[in-house]
Amino acid sequence: MSDLLAHINDKDLRLIADKITGNIRISPEEGLLLFNKADLGLLGLLAGIVRRRHNGELAYFNRNFHIEPTNICIYNCRFCSYHKPEGDPESWEYSHDEMLDIVKRFDDKAVTEVHIVGGVHPNYDLHYWGSLIRKIREHRPSLHIKAFSAIELDHMIALAGCTIEEGLILLKEYGLDSIPGGGAEIFDEKLRKQICDEKSSSELWLKIHETAHRLGIPSNATMLYGHIENYSHRIDHMQRLRILQDKTNGFNSFIPLKYKKSNNSMGYLGEVSTIEDLRNYAVARIFLDNFHHIKAYWPMTGKEGAQISLSFGTDDMDGTIDDTTRIYSMAGSEEENPAMSSDEISKLIREAGFIPVERDSLYNPILNSIGQSKQD
């Protein structure tokens, strides 16, 4: 490895590479330099070092499905292809019974997680959503319930007249297990004003996740990239996450989410290339040294894109999903009907040179009858 790195001509890059191989944290300035000056091959090499440090040759997935309760939303973010106002003919709103029917469709399947996220509906408070969680918990007690972005939580908790801490305690009592990472978008306040001015602030997003962690509710973190932001905005975003993770160690994974251009008012921007996706994954893996997992969300990247990303720092491909999400297909994703079997995911992982491991929502390996990690 040292021989490979010795051929780096740029002195600053060589010093950064030495820090990474020595397991020394790089600074935001060094992260920005990687974005601006390192070629893709070097980024892949360095991200692979960090990836193996955290996860060896393992690559994770789970058996999950989504419920998207509604696309009615009080916000109208410029990048969003999902939002519809109340009364729009293309809007939907599922009842509790309809959502419970989605859960029942998986009664004979070995799923371990339900992911619930949707629009910020104007009318429903935390007790409405909490009672949904309780019904799911009563029907299938073992199912991990990962539900509600910080943006949804902000609104439903405020409607109930609670503080953030009071609301999260109540939702945990209803049966909430963890929180997805949505709504983070990009933390820079000036950019946020341009793309999602109405939405909860970056400070509030971070406060909600910090409070959840303190209450024993783990979460994920995301970053929307490939729109009007630049590399310094991405590093700033990841630095804020890294600081919070140092404080709480409550994030399970980081999920870079690529801006998709279809059916939203920012479509004129187009989309960044797959090469840029890989650069972003690699720098994220290097910079977020206190995150154990970097996820490639395959309904967004496509199956092959997620497979390639495993060689650029990612170690998780999300899950089987079973055609239960529309958020990215409405934005123009290659995966219009997202579904993969565990065998298909395992095959993609093996073809990329890694070892597939089925996990639960907290990254514990699912054990088979002889006590070994399922690797199909």
- 133-138 long-range contacts, Cβ below 8 Å, gap at least 24? 133/171, 133/174, 133/175, 133/176, 134/174, 134/175, 135/96, 135/100, 136/99, 136/100, 136/103, 136/175, 137/174, 137/175
Q: What distance in Å separates the CA atoms of residue 7 and residue 358, rounded to the nearest whole number?
A: 38
Rounded to whole angstroms, the Cα distance separating 306 from 316 reads 9
Q: pLDDT value at position 310? A: 98
Distances (CA, A) of 242 to 28, 211, 288: 10, 16, 6
Strands 144-147 and 219-225: unpaired
Q: What's residue 372's pLDDT? A: 41
Q: How far apart are CA 278 and CA 318, in angstroms?
A: 17
- The per-residue pLDDT for 304 is 92
124-157 residue pLDDT tens:
999 999 999 999 999 999 999 999 999 999 999 9
DSSP 196: -
pLDDT along the chain (376 residues), means of 10: 64 95 98 97 97 97 94 83 74 94 94 94 96 98 97 97 98 98 96 89 97 98 96 98 98 95 78 96 98 93 93 94 53 57 92 96 74 40
Using the structure block, give the residue that is written with the tokens 């579904």.
Answer: 339
Residues 138, 146: Cα–Cα separation, whole Å: 15
Q: How far is CA 203 from the centre of its chain?
A: 19
Would you state the pLDDT for residue 83?
66
Query: pLDDT tens-digit profile of 278-297?
Result: 999 999 999 999 999 999 98
| Residues 352, 94: Cα–Cα separation, whole Å | 39
Distance CA 171, CA 157 (A): 9
Domain boundaries, the chain: 2-48, 54-358
54-358 adopts what CATH topology? TIM Barrel (3.20.20)
Residue 334: the pLDDT is 53
pLDDT for res 68: 93
pLDDT of residue 300: 84
